[in-house]
């Protein structure tokens, strides 16, 4: 038994070293990709010895578990029984009755008998294929979640064309100046004030944002797509900010304003809203102005603009004093979409490759073992007059049933893993909503089916080239 354990470990060491080298290369490549597309000043890929130890321990444990399990079964045999030719399989049990009841013909019954006689092997094969499908669905659904986040943030929440930010607080006359500029169709003001939000011993540096009730160009939208209006009195805060401050609706937070008179404001929490972007406390603009002891003041405005007049508007804003910044939403959305499309496209390519390799390895390994065990039966079918396609149907039919059986649990596992990954990917500045399209599930099934089809072609060639004389020889 020790010899076989050493042999299994020797074979696994090569795969382990190759996996470590490939993982290091992929990690550095991913770090470079994220630095390039997300414009990080620096991003260095680092890993500690604990990562290698965990990977090695998991790999070697799986190898030893599989090898020693097979060796233990062989070691239980007496020498005389081990040297005797294997007895024909007994199909008189309960599985044979099930196969006879479900199988319309003899090849179909052979398929069902083969699967039911080895439930552990069949179950592990299904689990392996389902895991590969879950991996693909979870990774591909990240794109679905990001698309949903972008739609909520830029399609439903930010509906204006341009955001103008002033260098200092302005009064209502600034709105009239903006309305007279070329191409401006509609203007909605906002007030933003820097502040430290305090709740007991907890403190977060966030802002106070004053919005117009009933505004259409910039709205607060939660991750379910519902529009939430600012409360007449009190603040709407994000779920992330509520968790950081450990507050809930009805509690009171202290806002230490960091501009103007630097007031300390006691503001009740009107509601907690899970929004895709942002973490500031949203307040009715008129109420915020009263809290800050100001008149009808604003920090900027959202504009709805005639697209044909956008260059003229941009030129006019450049000549306007006290305009600190201009954001064109279409350009921002295009930049984010292009970045995500390219970076997520590369990630999806890696995931498809890994998923396909896992399916290929699991299905091919199962098929090769089954072919080795049933070579005599398949050769006997050929001698009895069955054609090559009919003989291959017995073996490939098992693979097809295993793949079909793996699809439902694989999709369920993928959905669960996707929910977990969406929660982990969410950060302080954004929340990725859970979203998964039917097309993603179909693509996952297609990836698994394609890998299984490639395996079937490889196995079909071996079945067609089966040496009948050698397979039919009985070991004495």
DSSP 88-142: PP---SHHHHHHHHH-SSHHHHHHHHHHHH-HHHHHHHHHHHHHHHHHHHHHHHH
**Token pair recorded at residue 54:** 């965990």
> What confidence category does residue 1 fall into, taking pLDDT thresholds of 50, 70 and 90?
low
Checking if the pLDDT of 112 tops 80, the result is: no
Residues in Cβ contact with 87 at an 8 Å cutoff, skipping those fewer than 6 apart: none
How many angstroms from the chain centroid is the CA of residue 50? 25
Higher pLDDT, 197 or 43: 197
Checking if the pLDDT of 146 tops 80, the result is: no
How high is the pLDDT of residue 223? 81
How high is the pLDDT of residue 410? 92
Judge contact between 284 and 211, C-beta under 8 A. Answer: yes
Judge contact between 193 and 175, C-beta under 8 A. Answer: no
Mean pLDDT of 170-191: 88
Q: Which residue bears the tokens 């501009």?
A: 259
Higher pLDDT, 218 or 3: 218
Q: Average the pLDDT over each of 239-253, 342-356, 452-466 and give the range with the smallest value.
A: 342-356
Q: Average the pLDDT over each of 33-47, 275-289, 311-325 and give the range with the smallest value.
A: 33-47
How high is the pLDDT of residue 86? 60
Checking if the pLDDT of 128 tops 70, the result is: yes
Residue range(s) in the chain whose domain bears CATH number 2.40.40: 184-305
* Nearest to 306, CA basis, from 412, 403, 185: 185
Mean pLDDT of 274-291: 83
Judge contact between 15 and 60, C-beta under 8 A. Answer: no
d(CA 351, CA 421): 14
Judge contact between 35 and 42, C-beta under 8 A. Answer: yes
| Burial of 400 per CB tally in 10 Å (0-12, 13-18, 19+) | middle
Higher pLDDT, 101 or 206: 206
Q: Average the pLDDT over each of 102-116, 133-147, 247-261, 426-440 and give the range with the smallest value.
A: 102-116
Checking if the pLDDT of 342 tops 50, the result is: yes
How high is the pLDDT of residue 3? 66
How high is the pLDDT of residue 49? 82
Indicate the average pLDDT of the chain. 80
d(CA 471, CA 377): 9
Tell me how crowded residue 156 is: count the other CB atoms within 10 A of its CB: 14
Checking if the pLDDT of 476 tops 50, the result is: no
Beta strand 264-273 with 235-238 is: parallel
d(CA 109, CA 114): 9
Residues in Cβ contact with 363 at an 8 Å cutoff, skipping those fewer than 6 apart: 125, 129, 399, 402, 403, 451, 452, 455
**Token pair recorded at residue 21:** 């080298």
Q: Which residues are bridge partners to 199 per DSSP?
A: 202
Percentage above 70 pLDDT, the chain = 83
Grouping H, G, I as helix, E, B as strand and the rest as coil, residue 195 is: strand
How high is the pLDDT of residue 276? 76
Q: Could you tell me the pTM of the whole model?
A: 0.70
* Nearest to 202, CA basis, from 242, 257, 250, 238: 242
Residues in Cβ contact with 317 at an 8 Å cutoff, skipping those fewer than 6 apart: 164, 181, 323, 326
Grouping H, G, I as helix, E, B as strand and the rest as coil, residue 215 is: coil
pLDDT tens profile 216-253: 888 888 888 888 888 888 888 888 888 888 888 888 99
d(CA 396, CA 392): 6
Mean pLDDT of 155-171: 86
Judge contact between 470 and 185, C-beta under 8 A. Answer: no
d(CA 412, CA 101): 30
DSSP 65-99: HHHHHHHHHHHTS-HHHHHSPPPPP---SHHHHHH
* Nearest to 444, CA basis, from 125, 126, 138, 128: 138
**Token pair recorded at residue 180:** 């007279």
Judge contact between 167 and 324, C-beta under 8 A. Answer: yes
Mean pLDDT of 1-30: 77
How high is the pLDDT of residue 327? 86
pLDDT tens profile 405-438: 999 999 999 999 888 887 776 665 567 777 788 8
Q: Which fold has domain 184-305?
A: Barwin-like endoglucanases (2.40.40)
Higher pLDDT, 5 or 104: 5
> What confidence category does residue 104 fall into, taking pLDDT thresholds of 50, 70 and 90?
low
Percentage above 90 pLDDT, the chain = 4
* Nearest to 233, CA basis, from 217, 261, 213, 247: 213
Mean pLDDT of 98-121: 68
């Amino acid at each position: 038994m020790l010899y076989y354990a050493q042999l299994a470990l020797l074979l696994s060491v090569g795969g382990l070293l190759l996996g470590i080298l490939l993982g290091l290369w992929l990690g550095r490549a991913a770090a470079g990709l994220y630095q390039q597309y997300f414009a990080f000043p620096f991003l260095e890929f680092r890993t500690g010895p604990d990562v290698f130890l965990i990977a090695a321990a998991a790999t070697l444990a799986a190898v030893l578990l599989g090898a020693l399990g097979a060796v233990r079964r062989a070691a239980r045999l007496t020498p005389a029984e081990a040297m005797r030719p294997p007895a024909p399989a007994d199909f008189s049990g309960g599985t044979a009755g099930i196969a006879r009841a479900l199988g319309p013909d003899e090849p179909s019954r052979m398929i069902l008998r083969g699967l039911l006689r080895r439930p552990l092997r069949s179950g592990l094969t299904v689990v392996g294929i389902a895991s590969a499908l879950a991996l693909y669905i979870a990774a591909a659904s990240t794109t679905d979640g990001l698309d949903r986040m972008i739609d909520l943030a830029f399609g439903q929440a930010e509906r204006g064309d341009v955001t103008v930010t002033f260098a200092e607080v302005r009064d209502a006359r600034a709105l009239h100046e903006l309305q007279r500029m070329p191409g401006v169709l509609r203007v909605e003001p906002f007030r933003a004030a820097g502040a430290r939000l305090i709740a007991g011993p907890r403190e977060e540096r966030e802002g106070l944002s004053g919005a117009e009730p009933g505004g259409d160009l910039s709205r607060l939208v939660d991750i379910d797509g519902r529009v939430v209006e600012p409360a007449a009195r009190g603040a709407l805060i994000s779920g992330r900010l509520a968790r950081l401050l450990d507050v809930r609706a009805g509690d009171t937070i202290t806002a230490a304003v960091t501009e103007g008179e630097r007031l300390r404001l006691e503001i009740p929490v009107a509601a907690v809203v899970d929004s895709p972007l942002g973490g500031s406390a949203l307040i009715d603009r008129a109420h915020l102005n009263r809290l800050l002891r100001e008149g009808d003041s604003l920090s900027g405005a959202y504009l709805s603009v005639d697209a044909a007049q956008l260059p003229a508007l941009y030129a006019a804003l450049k000549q306007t004093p006290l305009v600190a910044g201009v954001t064109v939403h279409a350009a921002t959305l295009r930049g984010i979409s292009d970045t995500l499309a390219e970076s997520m496209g590369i990630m999806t390519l890696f995931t498809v490759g890994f998923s396909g390799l896992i399916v290929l390895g699991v299905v091919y390994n199962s098929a090769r073992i089954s072919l080795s065990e049933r070579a005599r039966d398949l050769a006997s079918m050929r001698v009895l007059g069955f054609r090559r396609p009919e003989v291959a149907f017995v073996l490939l039919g098992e693979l097809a049933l295993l793949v079909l059986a793996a699809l439902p649990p694989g999709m369920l596992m993928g959905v669960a893993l996707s929910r977990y990954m969406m929660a982990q990917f969410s950060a302080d500045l954004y929340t990725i909503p859970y979203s998964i399209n039917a097309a993603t599930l179909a693509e996952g099934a297609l990836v698994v089916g394609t890998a299984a089809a490639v395996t079937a072609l490889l196995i079909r060639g071996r079945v067609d080239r089966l040496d009948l004389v050698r397979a039919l020889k009985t070991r004495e």
